[in-house]
Amino acid sequence: MIRYRFILPIVFSATMLGGCANTSPQSTMTPLQIQSMETRDYSSSKDVVFPSVISVFQDLGYTITNASKDTGLISAESATEGSSLATKILLGVSSSSQTKATAFIEKIGNKTRVRLNFVVIEQGSSQYGQNSRADHPILDAKIYQNAFEKIDSAIFVRKSSI
């Protein structure tokens, strides 16, 4: 009977570690392709683009954690999603996931350049005090395309109200 008490956490931990392994194939994108996907140039001023990006992050459900128009940097994060209470109580393990987003906005010539970056952060802990963290950059072009389409719309609305 006592043996099962020690075996269950070991089996569960091994299962969790196996499940946490990144099974998705490595990105075959070059750094230049990634930068191209994450970047868009606008003919609007930084005074219009910067608040538009903040507005879009908020519309997408992010909380702005830092924003500086002088440096052009915006940091935001999503709400944290965690494991169920039953998992925490029964197995003594917890996990959480959160997406962090950044935007860098700079004036280049007569254009304003926006570079977005989205990263999923997964954290876990066990009843034995072991913690783990894995950061996974989001390299899905559709995610960036969606964000830039929303930024396009926000800029259009902001410019037409000036």
Residues spanned by the domain of 98: 30-160
Quote the pTM value. 0.75
pLDDT number for residue 17: 41
Instruction: Please count the structural domains in the chain.
Output: 1
Q: Tell me, yes or no, whether 34 lies in a domain.
A: yes
Per the domain annotation, does 46 fall within a domain? yes
**In a domain? residue 11:** no
- In this structure, what CATH number is given to the domain that contains residue 77? 3.30.310.80
* 84, pLDDT greater than 80: no
Judged against a pLDDT cut of 70, whether residue 153 lies above it is answered with yes
Q: Where are the beta strands (DSSP E) in 45-93?
A: 63-68, 73-77, 81-82
Nearest to 116 by CA among 156, 73, 78: 73
In this prediction, residue 136 carries a pLDDT of: 95
